[in-house]
Amino acid sequence: MHRPSSAKDYPHPAIAREGWLFLAVALAIAIAATFARWWVLAAPAWLAVVFIGQFFRDPGRAVPAQTNAVLSPADGRVLFVGKALDPYLERQALKISVFMNVFNVHSNRSPVDGTVKEKWYHAGSFFNAALDKASLENERCALYLKTGGGVDITCVQVAGLIARRVLCYVQPGDSLARGQRYGFIRFGSRVDVYLPETAIPKATVGDVVYATTTILAELS
């Protein structure tokens, strides 16, 4: 059973606001080149319009009703599921990593209902986001979320080889609902989620997952 997403959860219809400027510029160039019959420019410009439109698409998603579920914060493929050190809360944790390629939706959603207790931003390198070292060396923004039941969760946006901007719109003290949009990463990237060791993983390496609709783990 799912509850429908609300307008508050998804305030940017069809195309995420991060893509409006890129799409407007590409569309203006494509239209101008078409009217001027500059086909050499018009063809790639229209291809750019299509690519930008699909990259910045921002569909609404239905939220699973299961209250102990940890939802995927991103679309993509699961890279890692296993025990790891949470470098932000300095604890042993269950880590699940999701890699986004340029064809995935790049809007990031909250994996749980919770309060933002802390936020850390680190400038860094731009290694391939599929590499393990990207978690600690690339540009990244981490959120420490605490659920109403007192469970600590860390959710980290990590820039990739092509990505050059991690966008996070929440601050400590803000409340997030499961599936609520809170950030965006421009072009290929990953999201790492650190959960209590007692969490039960429901995703495995290689799984294709979708933000909000896919359950990554269950809290015990």
- Do both 48 and 153 map to the same domain? no
In a domain, 6, yes or no: no
Same domain, 195 and 101: yes
Number of domains in the chain: 2
Instruction: Tell me if 12 is assigned to some domain.
Output: no
Asked if residue 138 and residue 164 are part of one domain, the reply reads yes
pLDDT at residue 220 tops 90: no
pTM: 0.81
* Tokens at 216, concatenated: 């990554």
DSSP code per residue over 36-49? TT-HHHHHHHHHHH
Do 71 and 50 lie in one domain? The reply is no
Q: Is residue 33 part of a domain?
A: yes
| Residue 141: exposure state from Cβ atoms within 10 A (0-12, 13-18, ≥19) | buried
Please determine, for residue 6, whether its predicted confidence score (pLDDT) is greater than 50: no
Backbone phi and psi for residue 137, each to the nearest 5 degrees, phi listed first = -115, -20
Whether residue 151 is found in the same domain as residue 105: yes
Residue 198 burial (10 A CB sphere; 0-12, 13-18, 19+): exposed
Instruction: Kindly report which listed range (54-58, 95-99, 133-137, 182-186) carries the lowest average pLDDT score.
Output: 133-137
**Segments forming the whole domain that contains residue 49:** 17-55
- Is the CB of residue 154 less than 8 Å from the CB of residue 135? no
Quickly list DSSP for 148-165.
TT--EEEEEEEE-SS---
Of 55, 81, 101, the position where a domain reaches its end is 55
What's residue 171's pLDDT?
94
Report, as residue numbers or ranges, the catalytic residues: 189
Q: Give the pLDDT confidence score for residue 134 in this predicted structure.
A: 57
**Mean pLDDT rounded to a whole number for the chain:** 86
Q: What is the pLDDT of residues 9-61, one digit of tens each?
A: 445 567 777 778 888 999 999 999 999 889 889 999 999 999 888 788 888 88
Residues 108 and 195 in one domain: yes
